[in-house]
Amino acid sequence: MPELPEVEVVRRGLDPAMSGSVIESVLVHDPRALTRHGGGPADFEAVLAGRRVLAAVRRGKFLWFPLDGTDKALVGHLGMSGQMLLRSPGAPAERHERVRLELRHPDHGELVVVFADQRTFGSLAIDELGPTVDAAPGGAGSELARVPRQVAHIARDPLDPAFRDRAFRDILGRKKSAIKRVLLDQTVVSGIGNIYADEALWAARVHPETPAHVLSTRRVNRLLAEVRSVLQKALAEGGTSFDAQYVNVNGQAGYFAHSLNAYGRTGEPCPRCGRPIVRVSFTNRSSHFCPRCQPPASLTFFHAPA
C-alpha cells in the first residue's frame, strides 16, 4: 500500500495541474471506485462538473482537492493499487481506469486526470470539509484549517509542522502495544506503513515487538528522528516501488527500494552488523529486523534515564 512518501509524490505531481483548474467533465467507468462517496456516479459527476479546484492537499495517505465556492472537497485514497495519472486530452483509456476527470487549467490548457486501480480498494468521494481540531492547516499543500470529515480521525504525520512530538511521546507512554503496531495506527501517527516502520525501527535499533510504554524519552526522540529521516529520503527518491502498481502521476516508479536496509531483505546481511535479516509474521503482514542490532526489549534497559 502506498505510504506517505508515495502519496506525497502524487500530490506534488498533481498540484500544478489541478490547482486552479476547472473540472469540465467527469466520467465514472466503475462505481466501485466511489465506495466512500455518499451518492452514486450521477451525483459524483454533477457535484464536480464546472467546479474549480483550489489545491492538492494530503494528510497521511489521504489526498483531497477543495472545490471553489463550496464547503466540499474531492477526496482520494489510493488503497493497495490506486493511481492518479496525468494524461493529455484524448489519451486512450488506461488499463484498470475507473474514473476520468477532464480539466481546463488557465495556464496549461486542457488536461486529463485518470484514477486507475487494479484491485479496486482505492476510492474517490465528495466529502464536506470541517475545521481542524487544532486550528492548524489541514494538511500538506494548503493553509486552510479544514479537513474532510472522513479524514478528520487521521492523525498528523511526523513531517507535518503541526505534529507535536511531546503529545506523541505522551501517547506512547500509555500504550502497552508493540511499538510497530503503534507506528501503524493512523489515529496516533499517520503516513507510516509496513515498509517505513521496519526501516525506522532498524535505524533506531528498536525491536518491533518492544512495548511502546517502556521506551525512554531519548529512544522515542531517536525513533521519531529516524522516522523523519526515512520518510524524507524516500520522498527524495520518489517513494518505493516493488511492482508497477505504485507510480507517480507520469507513470514512473520510485527507486527507494534500492535503499532499504531491513524491509524485504530476509536472509541478507544486515548493512550494519552483517547478521542475516529475519522475517516474522506480524498480524496480516511481516516484520523485518536484525536480531543483533534490534534485540528484544529489556524493561531494565529501556527504563534507564533518558
- DSSP lists the bridge partners of residue 278 as 289
96 is in an annotated binding site: yes
What total number of domains does the chain contain?
2
Report the alpha-carbon distance of residue 90 to residue 156 in Å, rounded: 38
- Residue 235 is predicted with a pLDDT of 86
If asked whether residues 213 and 121 sit together in one domain, one would say: no
Angle of CA points 69, 74, 76, to nearest 5°? 160
Q: Is 61 a catalytic residue?
A: yes
Range of the domain at 264: 165-302
Which of 58, 61, 169, 265 is catalytic? The answer is 61
If asked whether residues 13 and 141 sit together in one domain, one would say: yes
* Residue after which a domain boundary falls, among 123, 151, 179: 151
Which of 36, 285, 291, 295 is catalytic? The answer is 285
If asked whether residues 93 and 173 sit together in one domain, one would say: no
Helix, strand, coil content of the chain in percent (nearest 5): 30, 25, 45
Cβ pair 25, 102 in contact under 8 A: yes
Which alpha helices (DSSP H) does 1-98 contain, by range? 4-18, 41-48
* Domain annotation covers residue 157: no
- Residue 306 is predicted with a pLDDT of 35
* Domain annotation covers residue 74: yes
* Residue after which a domain boundary falls, among 151, 177, 207: 151
119 is in an annotated binding site: yes
Q: Does pTM surpass 0.85?
A: yes
CA dihedral 237, 6, 164, 288 (to 10 degrees): -80
Q: Of 164, 132, 137, 166, whose CA–CA distance to 151 is shortest?
A: 132
Q: Is 32 a catalytic residue?
A: no
The strand ranges marked E within the chain are 22-28, 57-59, 62-66, 72-77, 82-87, 97-105, 109-117, 123-131, 146-148, 278-282, 285-289
If asked whether residues 14 and 142 sit together in one domain, one would say: yes
If asked whether residues 182 and 252 sit together in one domain, one would say: yes
* Domain annotation covers residue 160: no
Residue 79: CATH number of its domain: 3.20.190.10
Report the alpha-carbon distance of residue 123 to residue 46 in Å, rounded: 17
If asked whether residues 83 and 19 sit together in one domain, one would say: yes
Q: Is 41 a catalytic residue?
A: no
Q: Is 5 a catalytic residue?
A: no
Determine how β-strand 123-131 pairs with β-strand 146-148.
antiparallel
Q: Which residues of the chain have pLDDT under 50?
A: 241-246, 255, 299-306
If asked whether residues 111 and 88 sit together in one domain, one would say: yes
- Residue 250 is predicted with a pLDDT of 58
User: In Å, how far are 19, 23, 37, 144, 171 from 54, measured between CA atoms?
Assistant: 5, 11, 20, 10, 35
* Domain annotation covers residue 156: no
If asked whether residues 250 and 129 sit together in one domain, one would say: no
User: Max Cα separation, the chain?
Assistant: 65
- Residue 237 is predicted with a pLDDT of 81
If asked whether residues 177 and 84 sit together in one domain, one would say: no
Which of 3, 8, 199, 209 is catalytic? The answer is 3
If asked whether residues 218 and 131 sit together in one domain, one would say: no
Cell numbers linked to 131 = 475545521
- Residue 304 is predicted with a pLDDT of 39
Residue 269: CATH number of its domain: 1.10.8.50
